[in-house]
Amino acid sequence: MICSESLFGDQKNMEQRDIIELSSRKRDEKIMRAGRDYVVGIDTGGTFTDGVLLDYYSRDVINSCKTLTTREDLSIGIIKALTGLNIENPSRIRLVGISSTLATNSIAENRVMETALLLVGYDRELIETYHLEAKFPTKNIAYFAGGHTSQGEEKEALDIAGICQWVETNRNKVDALAISSYFSPLNPSHEEEVFAAIQGICSLPVVLGHQLSTKIDSISRATTACLNASLVAVMQGFIQAVQTALEKEKISAPLMIVKGDGSLMPYDVATAKPVETILSGPAASAIGGRFLSGNDSAVVVDVGGTTTDIALIENGQMTISTGGTRVGNVQTAVKAARIRTACIGCDSRISFDKGKTVKVGPDRVVPLCRLAALFPSVEKQISALPDKHVLDWLPTDIEYWFLYKDVDCSSHFGTDTRHAELFDLLRQGPLSVTHILKHMKVNHIVQLNAAALIEKRLIERAYLTPTDLLHVIGHMNQWNAKVARIALQRACEMHDRNPETFAQETLSHIVHRMAEEVMTFLARQQEGQNLPEEIDDKWGRWFINEMLTDGNPYLSVSTASRFPVIGIGAPAGYFVRRLARCLNAPFVLPKSAAVANAVGAVAGSVCMDEEARIFLKEIDNSERFVVQIDGRPPQSFEEKDDAKRYAQKIVSDMAKEAAIVAGVISPQVAVQESVDGSVLRLVARALGNPSLGPSV
Amino acid sequence: MSNILGKMAEAIIEGDADSIKDMAQKAVDEGISIQDIMDKGLLAGMDVVGQRFKVGDMFIPEVLSSADTMKNAMEIIRPLMTEGESTNAGKLLILTVKGDLHDIGKNLVGMMFEGAGFEVIDMGIDISVEDTVNAVKEHKPNLVALSALLTTTMPKMPETINALKEAGIRDQVKLLVGGAPVTRAWAEEIGADGYASNAAAAVDMGKELLSAA
Amino acid sequence: MGMNTDLLNFKPQLRVINDAQISQIHCATLEVLERTGVKMTHPRGLEMLSGAGCRVEGDRVRIPAWLVEDSIRKAPSRVVLGTRTGKRTVFLERDKSFFGPSLDCIDYMDPRTHVRSRFTSEHAKEVAALCDALPHYQWYMIIGMADDVPADIADRVVARNTMTYCEKPLVFCCKDTNSEKDIYEMALLLCGGKENFDKAPYLVHYSEPISPLVYYDPAVDKLLFTAEHNIPIINFPAPQAAGSAPATFAGLIVQASAESLSGLVLAQLANPGASFIYGAFSTIMDMQTSVFSYGANELSLMAGAMAQMAQHYELPFFGTSGATDSKFCDAQAGAEAAFEIFSAAAVGSSLVHDCSSWMDHGSMVSPEYMVLAHEIVDMASHYMKGIEVSEETLAVDIIDKVGPGGHYLAEKHTKNHYRKVKYSRIFERMIYDEWEKAGSPSFEDRLQQVTLEKMAHRPEPLADDVVKELDKMQATWK
C-alpha cells in the first residue's frame, strides 16, 4: 500500500504534492512567551488532520497546521501535524487533546477486533422472532441462562459453568469478549460474576454491558458493549502511538481524548471506553467554535468538504442527542452531541439534473480548480476545451479521475483486467472521463464498473464544486480560478445557462439549503413536537421557502434564530455569513475558524457522570425502593425520598471524585433527575476545566 | 352489490348480530371484495356508530351490540383475508396489569376495538410483566393496551414498558394505557404512546397511532 | 306512584308533621276562624257568609267550624287541567306533583347578554316559548307585569303574549274582575268555547287574601266571578313569619290555613263543588334585610306541612319551590332550587309554582334559571319513580348467567334497562381530558347554551282569525 504522499510524491512537481492542503502555514507566526499556558489540540478528521498550538487563556492560536489524514495509521498524520506546529519549546505544553475519528472509521471500514457477544438471560426466541440479531455488530453470539427481571431479581440461575466452558473452547477464535446480561442496569451481578469467572481462563479484553450503557434496552447495551470490545485493542494501539509521538516531540503534558459530547476524558478512560469517542469530530468543532468566539449559546455551523455539521451550544454545553448514536448500521447507546449533518459541503458535486434544476451533493469530489492547481496537465486540457467543436462537447469533458491510492491490481481485483488497465491509464495522471472512455473503448461510465474503486477511495473524481464557483465569483483565489471559469462556462453552455447567474443562483441555493437545515435543526430542538426530519407538506415548504428567499410579492415571511450563528470551516465566511442573514441571526466568524475543530480537541471541559437508578421492588408483600449504583452494593429504602437522598449523596461524591482523578481541580457537581419508565435516574455530573500539567 | 353492503352497515348500526353472518356470507358469495365488504359495509357502519356515540346518540350497550355484530361478521370475513388486508385494522393485545383484578374497563376497550375491526387478544386480568412480554413475542400485536384501576398497580405500567424496552421491542408496538387513576401527563411521563380516557377514545387513539406509524 | 304518574312503585315519601300534629293544626285553624275570623268589606261576600251561618260583626266575619269542614267536603278532591288545545295534562290528585314556572316579574335577566333590565311584554313571549319547550313544566303562571305597556292593561297583554307562545295550562293573576273577564274570554276563544273549557279548564285563577286575615273587595269580586265561571281558584295568602304572621312556624301555618280556607268557604257558597286549590306562600321575614325570602329553607318546611294539610283535606295544593334569593345562576341558586324542589316533590305538593325563573327574592325572571330549575325537576321526577321491584328487575337469572368475574355490558337485559338512567346536558360528567378538549365549558356556558337553544322553540302558531279576534278584544281593553 502506498500512502497518498508517495502517490503525489511520484508526481514531477514536488512542491504541489500536498494537494488538499487548504492553507499554507501561517507566516505571521506568534511567539510562545514565558509565563503563559500553551496547549496542543489535534483533530483527525476523515480527510484532514489539523493541529493547533493555543494560548489557553488568551485563546490565541499561535500556530496551526493542516495535513492529510493517514487512514491506515492515524498516528502518522498526527506526528506530521505535531511537527508542522513547529513547537519551539515543547516543555511549555501543558495539555494535549485529541479528537479522533478512529472509532467511527474503524467501525465503518470494519477494521476492528473479532468480538464474541455473550448474552446472559436473553430470550433467543424473541430475538429471532423480531430479527434483532441483525442489530448486533458481530455474528459470534452465544446465549446463556441467567439475567434479571424488571425488578432486578434473579430471573434464573446463572449458567457460569456453561460460560466458562464456552470461553475455554472459543478463546482462541476471537480477539475480545462482550458480556451483557438481561436487566443488568438494575442488577449487574451476573455480568460481574461472569467477568470474575473468566479472568482466570483467558486474557482477552472483556467488556461488560452495564459499564458502557445503563439504558434499559438489552439489545443496544449488547451492541454498545460489543462495539466497544472490538475497539479496545484498536484504541490502545492508537493511544500508544500518540504517546510515542509526543515523547518524540518531547511533550510530556497530560493527554486527553474528546468524547462524542465534546467533553474531554483522560486517555486511560478512552482506552476502556473507546466507543465513547464516536462522533467526537463534529462535537470538537462546535466546542472549538464556542471557545474561540466566547459565545456560550450559539448554533455552530461547520462547513466542511463533504458535509455541513450543525450543533447547538446552550450555556456552554453541547446539546446531547436523546436516542443513542448510530454508526453505520449499528445503533449504539452512546451519548453524543446532537449533530445534524447535511450532505452538502464546499466539495460537493454540482450536477445538472433534468430540466433546469441543479443538484448539489451528496457526492464529494475534488474541485476542478484544486486539481488544476496541482496538475498543470489538467489546466492545459481544460483550457483547450473551447477549441473543440460545439457538436463534439460532452458532459464527461469536465469530469476528471485520478488515482488517490495505488494498489497492486492483481491482488485486489483478481481477474478483472479492466481495472488494472484503468489503473495503468490513470498512473499517467488525471484524465477526463471523455478521455478514459475513449481509451478504454467503452461508451458509458457504467461500463467501467468502477463504483467499488471510487467507494474504496482508490480513485478520486474531480468536478465542478461550490469551491469552483467561489473562485469564479472572486471570493476565493487559492487555486486555479481560470480552470474553474472555463469548466463552468462549458457546463453552462451545454445546459443553456448563463454562467454569471448560474454561479450566483447555485451559491444562493446552497445557502438556502444550509439555512433550511439549521432551521429544521433548531425547530426540532423543541421537545414534545416530534417534528419529522424533513419539512413535509406543501404549506410547510412554502413557509420555509418564503422565509429564506422572501420572494412572494404579497406576503413577507421571516424567521429569526434565537441564537447567534458561529461559522466554522474555511468557506464559513461566505456561506455561513449569508445563512445567518437568512435567519436574521448575528453572525460570528471566529479567528482561526478553519482550525476550530483542532481547537475544540483541547478546549472542552472534563465531565464525569455517575448514575444511580432507583426502582420499586416488591419484597414479601411490601415495597422497597432499591438504589443501584455501579460499584456499590444495592441499598433499599422504605421511603422514596430517603432513597433519593442517599443516591444523590453517593453519586455526587463519586462524580466529584472521578473528576478530580481525571484532573479537574475544583469540579462543579449537579444532579439531574429523570424518569425512565419505572426507573428513576439520578445523574451527577461533575464538570470542570482540565488542570494543566506542570510547567517544566 | 351496494345494496347488501348498505344492509350490512345498517345491521352493524342496529346491532343485528343474528343476521349479519348470513349477510356477510351472501356478500362473499356475490363476489364482493373483502376490502369493499370491510370498508363500505362493516367499517362504514362502525364509523356511524362511533360518530353517534360521540354526540350522545348511542350508548355503550348499543355500541357493544354493534361491536358484537362486527365480531360475528369478522368470523366469516377474517379467514378470507390475505396478509395485507388483515393488517388494515390491526392487532391489539389487552390486559389488566399484575395485582389488579379489574376487568370491566379493559373488556369494554377490548370490545370496542373488536368493533373497529381489530383482532383482539384479551389476556385477562392480573397479568405479569414477563407474561406480557411473552405474549407480545407470541402474537406480535401492533398495539398493546394496559389497564390499571388502582394507584398501587399503576407502577406495573412503566415496568411493563421497561420490560419491552429491555427486550428491544418497545418500538415494535404502540402502547396505550388507561384506567381511572391514569392521566395523560402520567402516560407521557412513563413513556406510553397514548392515553385514552374512555373506550371510544382508546379506539380513536389506537387508530391514530397506527396510521401515524 | 311517581311524582306525577301512576307507576305502581313505592314513591319515596317525606313527612314533616305527623297525624297528631295535623289534627292539632286543623283544630287550631278552626279555632282561629271561629274566634278571630277574617276582615271583609265586600257587601255580597258578607251577605253570603252571613246567610250561611257565619257571625258577621261589622267587617269581621267569624266562620263556624262545621261550615269550614262542610266546605272542605264539598270541594272536589281532584282537579284536571287542560292545555289550550284541550289536552288533559295536569291531574291534581293524591300526592302527585306538577311543577310550573312564573313567567313575569319586575326585572329580566337576558340570557344572551346577562344584562338585567325591566321585564317587558316582549320578554313574556320568549319566556312563554321557553316554558312550552321544557317538558317537565306542565303549566305556567303569570302575575301580569310588563314595563313597556300601560299598567292598566299589562296583565292582559302578558296573558295574551304568553297564551300565544305557550300551550300549557295557565295560572294567572290580574288586577280586577274586568281583567279576569278579558282573560277568560281569550281562553274561551283559544279553547273553542265554554263547553271545551269546562271539560278541562285551561285557566286557573290566583287570588290573594292579605295576611293577616284580610280580604279586600277586588279579591272577593274575583273570587266570586272565578267560582261562578267554573274556573279553578287558588286562594293563596302570603304570610311572613314574624311580620304578617306569628314567628312560630306552626302559628304561621295555622293563620295561613285559616286565610286559605276562608276563601274556600266563600267559593263553595258561590258555586258548590267549585274547584279550589288550597295553600299559602309561607315564608319568613329576613331580620337582617327585611326581605320576603324565596330561598328560605323554612319556606319548604312550612310548605311541606301545608301540603300534608291539603292531603289531609283531600284538596289540591298550591306549592312553592324552585326559587332563589340569589341574583345569578350560581351555586346558591342551584342549591336553593334543588332543596326546594326535592322537598316539594318528596312531600307531594300538587301544583308547585315559582319554580323557575324567579330570582332575587321574587324580583327577577331568568330564563337560564328556569332551565336550571327544570333540570332539577327532571331529577326529582326521576328519583320519585322509586325502584321497580319485580322478577325482571331483581335479575336473579342474569346474575347467575354472568357469574362471578363476568360483566353485564353486552347482556340483552342491560340493553333493555340501562336507559332508565337520567342524562343531563347541563350537569356534565365528562372525563377531564374530553372536557378540556371540548374547550373546558363551565356550568354557566352549558346552561346558557341549552337555554338559548330551547328558547328558539315556537309552539304551533294561532290561526289568523283567532289572532284577528284577539286584536279586536285587545282594542277594547281598559
For residue C429, the tally of other CB atoms under 10 A from its CB is: 7
Q: Which range, A315-324, A338-347, A400-409, A525-534, is most confident?
A: A338-347
Look at A150 and B140 and tell me if their CB atoms are within 8 Å.
no
Q: How do residues A40-83 score in pLDDT, each as one tens digit? A: 999 988 777 899 999 888 888 889 888 877 777 788 888 888 88
Question: What distance in Å separates the CA atoms of residue A286 and residue A304, rounded to the nearest whole number?
Answer: 13
Query: Average pLDDT over chain A, rounded to whole?
Result: 85
B133: which chain A residues are within 8 Å (Cβ-Cβ)?
123, 126
Question: C99: exposed, middle or buried (C-beta count within 10 Å: 0-12, 13-18, 19+)?
Answer: buried
Measured in Å, how far apart are chain B's first and last C-alpha atoms? Answer: 33
The region of weakest confidence among A99-113, A194-208, C85-99 is A99-113
Q: Is residue C429 less than 8 Å (CB to CB) from chain B?
A: no
pLDDT digits (tens, 9 = 90+) for A345-395: 888 999 877 667 788 878 888 899 989 988 888 888 888 887 777 777 777
* Residue C357 main-chain phi, psi, to 5 deg: 45, -35
- In 3D space, the residue among A381, A639, A342 whose CA is nearest the CA of residue A515 turns out to be A342
Among B98, B138, B144, B166, which would you mutate to test the A interface (most chain A Cβ atoms within 10 Å of its Cβ)?
B166
Residue of C nearest to B109 (CA): C409
At A228-244, the pLDDT tens digits run 999 998 899 889 989 98
Would you say how long chain B is, in residues? 213
**Which residue, among A262, A273, A221, A268, has the nearest Cα to A103 in the 3D structure?**
A273
* Neighboring chain B residues of C419 at a CB cutoff of 8 Å: 59
Chain B residue numbers with beta carbons less than 8 Å from the beta carbon of A132 are 168-169
Nearest-CA neighbor of C168 among C460, C452, C464? Answer: C460
Q: What pLDDT score does A28 carry?
A: 43
Which of B137, B140, B189 lies closest to A125 in CB terms?
Answer: B137
**A359 in helix, strand or coil?**
strand
A134 touches chain B (CB under 8 A): no
Interatomic CA distance for residues A404 and A415, integer angstroms = 22
DSSP A191-211: HHHHHHHHHTT--S-EEEHHH
Residue in chain B nearest A128 by alpha carbon: B137
CB pairs under 8 A between A and B: 65
Nearest CA in chain C to B62: C415
Chain A environment of B177 (Cβ under 8 Å): none
Segment A122-134 mean pLDDT: 93
Q: Which of A130, A150, A675 sits opposite B163 (nearest CB)?
A: A150
Q: Which residues of chain A have a CB within 8 Å of the CB of B190?
A: 675, 677-678
Q: Find the CB nearest B137 among A129, A675, A677.
A: A129
Phi, psi (rounded to 5 degrees) for A475: -75, -30
Q: How confident is the model at residue A694 (pLDDT cuts 50, 70, 90)?
A: low
C409 to B111: CB separation less than 8 angstroms, yes or no: yes
Task: Using 70 as the pLDDT threshold, list the residues of chain C that sit under it.
Answer: 1, 7, 355-356
Cα A583 to Cα A596: distance, rounded to the nearest angstrom = 23
B29's grid cell: 358469495
Q: What is the pLDDT of residue A316?
A: 79
Residue carrying the nine cell digits 302575575: C143
Cell output for C144: 301580569
Distance between CA atoms of residues A493 and A395, nearest Å: 11
- Give the mean model confidence (pLDDT) for residues A276-298: 88
Would residue B32 be called left, alpha or beta, if left means φ above 0 and alpha means ψ between -120 and 50 degrees?
beta
* Pick from B137, B162, B191: CB nearest A126: B137
**Of A263-277, A379-393, A542-556, highest mean pLDDT:** A263-277
Report residue C14 as a C-alpha cell: 317525606
Q: Say yes or no: C423 contacts chain B, CB-CB below 8 A.
A: yes
Per CB-CB distance under 8 Å, the chain B contacts of A530 are: none
Do C and A make contact via 3 or more CB pairs under 8 A? The reply is: no
Taking CA atoms, A281 is separated from A259, A330, A530, in Å, by: 9, 18, 27
Which residues in chain B have their CB less than 8 angstroms from residue A135's CB? 168
Closest-CA distance, A183 to chain B, in angstroms, reads: 7
Which ipTM score applies to this complex?
0.84
What is residue C277's predicted lDDT score, i.e. its pLDDT? Answer: 97
Pick from A120, A133, A182, A217 the residue to mutate for testing the B interface (most B CBs within 10 Å).
A217
Between C407, C419, C434, which is nearest B104 by CB?
Answer: C407
Q: Hey, are the CB atoms on C423 and B197 less than 8 Å from each other?
A: no
pLDDT at A11 over 50: no
- Is B161–A678 a contact, with Cβ atoms under 8 angstroms apart? yes
C409 close contact with B: CB closer than 8 A:
yes
C86 burial via Cβ count (<10 Å: 0-12, 13-18, 19+): middle
Contact C410 B59 (CB under 8 A): no
**How far apart, in whole angstroms, are the C-alpha atoms of residue C161 and residue C149?**
12
Q: Which of C402, C412, C415, C423 is the best mutation test for B, with the most CBs of B within 10 A? A: C415
pLDDT, residue A355, reads 60
Helix then strand count (H, E) for chain B reads 11, 5
Please, what's the largest Cα pairwise distance for chain C? 81
Residues of chain B with Cβ-Cβ distance to A616 below 8 Å are 155, 159
Chains A and B touch (3+ CB pairs under 8 A): yes
Question: Prior bond to C212 cis, omega within 30?
Answer: yes
- What pLDDT shows up at residue A695? 52
Beta strand A459-463 with A565-568 is unpaired
Bridge partners for C318 per DSSP: C351
Chain B, window 146-205: residues with a beta carbon less than 8 angstroms from a chain A beta carbon: 155, 158-163, 165-170, 172, 189-191
Residues paired with residue C284 on neighbouring β-strands, in sequence order = C241
Cα–Cα distance measured from residue B47 to residue A442, given in angstroms and rounded to the nearest whole number: 63
pLDDT tens, position by position, A562-609: 899 999 887 888 899 999 999 999 999 888 888 888 999 998 888 889
- In this structure, are residues C280 and C239 in contact, taking their beta carbons and an 8 Å threshold? yes
Instruction: Please report, as a single letter, which amino acid is at residue A117.
Output: L
Q: Do A126 and B167 touch (CB under 8 A)?
A: yes
Show the 3-state SS of A305-354: CCCEEEEEEECCEECECCCCCEECCEECCCCCECEEEECCCCCEEEEECC
Give the distance from residue C407's alpha carbon to the nearest chain B alpha carbon, in angstroms: 6
Q: For residues C415 and A73, what is the distance between their CA atoms, to the nearest angstrom?
A: 80
In angstroms, the CA A246 to CA A51 distance is: 13
pLDDT tens for residues A288-297? 988 888 888 9
Calculate how close chain B gets to A338, using CA atoms only, in Å: 21
Peptide bond into A362 cis (omega under 30): yes
Choose, out of B55, B57, B65, B195, the residue to mutate when testing the contact with C (most C CBs < 10 Å).
B65
Cα separation of B119 and C395, whole Å?
A: 33
Residue A322: HSE in the Cβ half-sphere, 13 Å Cα cutoff:
8
- Which of B129, B137, B168 has the CB atom closest to A219's CB atom? B168
